[in-house]
Structure 1
Amino acid sequence: MATVTGVVSVIAVVATIGMTLHLFAALGADGIADGEKTALYHVETWNETIVDPLWGLGIATLAVAGGLTRTLGNPITLALGLVGGLAYALASATIAFTDRFDALFLLASLIGIWAVVACVMMPPRKASSPVAASATTSTPSSEASRADIPRRTTGWSSAMSTRIGRAAAVMSR
């Protein structure tokens, strides 16, 4: 699972950089309107044809590996990520050449549903660093979920009355 996560992480970073290029798409709008294919047009075409499908396949692979090992979802939820990832991969691989598979982008929204469901299902992790462990282990488990709310027996009532008394004394002068 660690290898799959590492590979998918690299693909996700490359895909994010590739998708950032879409922010600059307006720079080539005049050339495209005149029928010219600008350098940015070619870069985006290759990005959509190669990098975006790799991202979709990476998500599908992550969903399958995570679902089968139960580290990210389960065998039922893996279907959402698998179908969504494959739909996104096919639709993005062909978008530059045909509109036939554009409807698959709707099905690709299953990726988001898979991500939310798989993350909600994840069990809480134990602290791995000594600093985090000391913060969590010093509180008994029965009190860990309870908010630290001051009670009258902790001395706040006398401190509050002292502060109020001082404030009242200052105001009466």
Structure 2
Amino acid sequence: MHIRPKADSDGPGCLALLLEVHRTDGYPRYLPDDAPRFITPPYESAAWVAEEDGEIVGHVGVHEAAGDPILDAAQRATGLGAEQLAVIARLLVAPLTRRTGLGQALLETATSHARMRGRRAVLDVVQDAAAPIALYEANGWTRLEPLSLEVTDRNSLDLWVYLGPE
């Protein structure tokens, strides 16, 4: 597998991966109507994909912290401003490539990118997502606090906010 920066032409492959992960794992819990914008939002500052035999099998993004729902929790824990934080998001690994170290490699790619830009990495994860939580904690991420996020008029997500290792 090869990890490389995401290109504009990766949109269809990233969308296919997102839909596969949603069908398999229920992530994201509430698939937005505009799934292409979800996988490549305007506040994404960097992103990478993993390819195997020309197919996108992994994805991770780094988002600007300003305006992100986890910003307050991250600031309480670190005392850092939004410009000193980076949100790791949209970590996706194709089901058939799991348990190969790809999730860890994508997480480290994004976290290293944040560090190189002088930013501390943060992320959120649904509280019942055992496998991602195990990945984050095994890689030195620290659970900060819970967050309830309203997604729609009738739906909310119970999240954990995590702080990346220094």
TM band (smaller chain):
under 0.3
Structure with the higher fraction of residues in helix conformation = 1
Of structures 1 and 2, the larger Rg is shown by 1
Structure with the higher fraction of residues in strand conformation = 2
TM-score, normalised relative to structure 1: 0.23
Which structure exhibits the higher relative contact order, with contacts defined as CA atoms closer than 8 Å and separated by 6 or more residues?
A: 2
TM-score, normalised relative to structure 2: 0.23
